[in-house]
Amino acid sequence: MKTLDRRNFLKKATLAGASALAVPTLFESCTSKANASTIVATDGLESKLIVPKNNGLKITGTFLDEISHDIPHQNWGEKEWDLDFQHMKNIGIDTVIMIRSGYRKFVTFPSPYLLKKGCYMPSVDLVDMFLRLAEKYGMKFYFGLYDSGKYWDTGDMTWEVEDNKYVIDEVWKNYGSKYKSFGGWYISGEISRATKGAIGAFYALGKQCKDVSNGLPTFISPWIDGKKAIMGTTKMTKEDAVSVQQHEKEWDEIFDGIHEVVDACAFQDGHIDYDELDAFFSVNKKLADKYGMQCWTNAESFDRDMPIRFLPIKFDKLRMKLEAAKRAGYDKAITFEFSHFMSPQSAYLQAGHLYDRYKEYFEIK
């Protein structure tokens, strides 16, 4: 009996103590909510910048990353995409680029050729939707070619030519001749160095795109094999980064082989450090000028300096890259990519803040 009484006493004492602790917590929670409901942002406040405003190259183009393998999908419908195009237009974006029309078995449009090869049927024709939205908001749409994944598996670019022979013809027939917003082609293969079959593949694809579309522009967006080019490793940097001199030598050869059918090159800017930007950018501009190509920058709006892949970039990092592009005399800045990393409606809360900081810096209302 005494043992049972003791157990009952301890049980009641424990419950009473828990209740005593819970009451203040509940009270504090209610109080916090009440206080939070009265907190509002002060109107008219802006960041007090201590650097010159409007001193970089404005972003006027963005990739549309609808077929991604390393960034979470946002599952937007046309309503969300329409709103995103409005946000893009608000900061001066006039060019949208579908980064790839398909990757392995996932595709953005019902391609008869790719579906017969075993690709999955998409629920929405994204190519048609993007072309309509681009037309609605006065933008140019660049079609990104199909990526079979075979180059990534083999290191040989020539694999990507065969499938795209059919894709290019299909797309021009079904969309290109129908929409005025169809403004050009993005040859979606990404390389950094002299790569097996790259010159031949870029030339073949660029020529077919131009031939079928009466000369619409084409561009590529390679990456610089810098210290942050660590794909497939657990490291943040690597020691065997390409030198500026070797980069110039290799890309001189590549540009020499493709400049007749590739109009612009937008090097990705995230694989080199911020104090290396001017050296590499000046070489890129010199080579583009030598071969009569447009020199664009792919200003990455995600952060490569963090172990978490991928989150919106710190504003100062984006600012420094855009300022370097302006110093180098680049022709255009595009980004990878607005919808995930700069949009006010992105799944990442930081993206909307980056949008606000960008508008403050460039004095966009």
Tokens 């002060």 identify what position? 42
Residue 321: its pLDDT value, please?
Answer: 98
CA distance readout (Å), 247 to 277, 282, 303, 312:
13, 12, 23, 28
- According to DSSP, the residues that pair with 297 across neighbouring strands are 267, 333
The pair of three-digit structure tokens given for residue 335, joined into one six-digit string = 């980004």
Report the distance separating Cα 211 and Cα 95, nearest Å: 22
**What backbone torsions phi and psi does residue 117 show, to the nearest 5 degrees?**
-85, 0
Residue 31: its pLDDT value, please?
Answer: 52
* 57 torsion bin: left (phi>0), alpha (psi -120 to 50), beta (else): beta
Report the distance separating Cα 221 and Cα 217, nearest Å: 14
The pair of three-digit structure tokens given for residue 21, joined into one six-digit string = 């602790």
Three-class SS state of 146: strand
- For residues 109 and 66, the answer to whether their CB atoms sit within 8 Å is no
Residue 297: its pLDDT value, please?
Answer: 98
Residue 230: its pLDDT value, please?
Answer: 78
Q: Which residues of the chain register pLDDT less than 50?
A: 1-4, 6, 9-10, 14, 16-24, 26-27
CA distance readout (Å), 196 to 51, 147, 193, 264, 287:
44, 16, 9, 21, 21
Residue 171: its pLDDT value, please?
Answer: 98
Residue 237: its pLDDT value, please?
Answer: 79
